């Protein structure tokens, strides 16, 4: 599903983060590495920036012990000051409800441990394999289905790449390489380019797919070098973004995405249906329209994966089906994402059927 979702921030050396030179340096002059290095990591700091009072601070900080808060400044800048119900804020702000037990919500809702066949590799579906190229991410979304994933056991470096590529090379049925994580764009362009170049040596690989949320929260990550890497590879390339609300699409992100489009990269989007954030017709309609205008095709709308600590985001299947039917009546078919859930042991995403 979505790779949005990342837990462990790797060392500055691993991801080539260059510390910000000055706290007053204009953000426009900062590289993506510097922006990431200055990401907000405290509940009070986040709420203070948005002119919001801090309530339940102890509980929120307790929730951070299980899953840290991490939000880069460009994403905070998209939030509305003074609005405690801002849909972007609610995706990243720890809640006291995360500490409450909920029936059916567990650490590994997709039983990925059974598909985690070797370090840094998950092989669930026929014809494609997922590589956890990075165990870190630029933002910690509170509904992340991998918030309890054993990233420490799956952290890989350049010395581990060959074992993964050997696995792929031995299976002629694998035509597509999916880079996930964490977020694969936490690697710098040089590292990413080297991995892709090595993967190109496997003749039966035809497609490269990158699942990422990083450009959504730090648009500067779409560097000219990154675009060049994808434009020059022999692979057919697709980038699957993770955008849940139209407010996430600002001018900086749209400009960055236009550079990818000009390079011939296919852009798709996966969203998660989240209670109180994007679970109404107007929000989903505006999201689909904004995505298409930015050159991104709505691809999947996921029901929430039942991960421990995220039950307060759940939208019932009945309500999801009704919303999806409304979208079909109000939008052209190509603007309506597929409503799906992911179930452990299944050979693909499972479409959620229409209501009778």
pLDDT reported for residue 221: 98
Ranges 122-136, 272-286, 323-337: which has the least confidence: 122-136
Residue 78: closest CA among 271, 219, 242 = 219
Q: Once rounded to an integer, what is the mean pLDDT over residues 85-114?
A: 89
Backbone angles phi, psi at 86, to 5 degrees: -55, 130
pLDDT reported for residue 347: 80
Contact 49, 76 (CB under 8 A): yes
Alpha helices (H) in 50-188, listed in sequence order: 57-66, 73-77, 89-92, 151-154, 158-169
Q: Are strands 266-272 and 236-242 parallel, antiparallel or unpaired?
A: parallel
Could you tell me the pTM of the whole model? 0.89
* C-alpha 34 chain-centroid distance: 20
pLDDT tens column, 266-296 = 999 999 999 999 999 999 999 999 999 999 9
Describe the chain by its helix, strand, coil percentages, rounded to 5. Answer: 40, 15, 45
pLDDT tens column, 15-49 = 343 344 444 445 456 999 999 999 999 999 999 99
Alpha helices (H) in the chain, listed in sequence order: 12-15, 32-37, 43-49, 57-66, 73-77, 89-92, 151-154, 158-169, 189-199, 214-217, 224-232, 251-262, 281-293, 317-330
Q: Where are the domains of the chain?
A: 1-356
Contact 3, 186 (CB under 8 A): no
Q: Does domain 1-356 have CATH number 3.20.20.70?
A: yes
Alpha carbon of 252 to those of 75, 79, 331, 356: distances in Å?
11, 15, 26, 43
């Amino acid at each position: 599903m979505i790779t949005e979702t990342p837990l462990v921030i790797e060392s500055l050396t691993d991801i080539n983060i260059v510390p910000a030179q000055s706290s007053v340096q204009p953000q426009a002059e900062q590289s993506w590495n510097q922006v990431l290095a200055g990401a907000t990591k405290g509940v009070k700091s986040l709420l203070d920036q948005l002119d919001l009072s801090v309530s339940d601070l102890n509980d929120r900080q307790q929730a951070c012990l299980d899953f840290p808060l991490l939000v880069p400044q460009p994403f905070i800048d998209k939030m509305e000051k003074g609005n405690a119900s801002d849909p972007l804020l609610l995706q990243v702000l720890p809640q006291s409800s995360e500490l409450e037990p909920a029936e059916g919500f567990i650490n590994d809702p997709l039983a990925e441990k059974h598909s985690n066949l070797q370090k840094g590799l998950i092989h669930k579906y026929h014809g494609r394999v997922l590589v956890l190229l990075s165990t870190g991410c630029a933002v910690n979304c509170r509904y992340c289905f991998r918030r309890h994933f054993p990233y420490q056991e799956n952290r890989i470096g350049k010395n581990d790449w060959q074992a993964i590529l050997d696995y792929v090379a031995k299976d002629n049925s694998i035509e597509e390489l999916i880079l996930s994580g964490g977020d694969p764009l936490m690697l710098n362009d040089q590292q990413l380019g080297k991995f892709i170049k090595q993967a190109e040596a496997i003749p039966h690989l035809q497609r490269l797919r990158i699942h990422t949320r990083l450009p959504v929260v730090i648009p500067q990550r779409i560097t000219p070098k990154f675009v060049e890497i994808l434009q020059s590879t022999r692979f057919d390339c697709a980038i699957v973004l993770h955008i849940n609300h139209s407010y996430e699409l600002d001018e900086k992100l749209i400009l960055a995405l236009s550079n990818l489009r000009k390079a011939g990269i296919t852009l798709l989007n996966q969203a998660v249906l989240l209670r109180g954030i994007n679970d109404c017709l107007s929000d989903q309609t505006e999201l689909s329209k904004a995505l298409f205008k930015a050159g991104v095709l709505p691809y999947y709308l996921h029901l929430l994966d039942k991960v421990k600590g995220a039950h307060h985001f759940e939208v019932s299947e009945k309500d999801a089906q009704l919303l999806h039917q409304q979208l079909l009546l109000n939008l052209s078919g190509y603007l309506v994402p597929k409503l799906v859930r992911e179930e452990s042991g299944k050979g693909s995403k499972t479409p959620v059927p229409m209501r009778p």
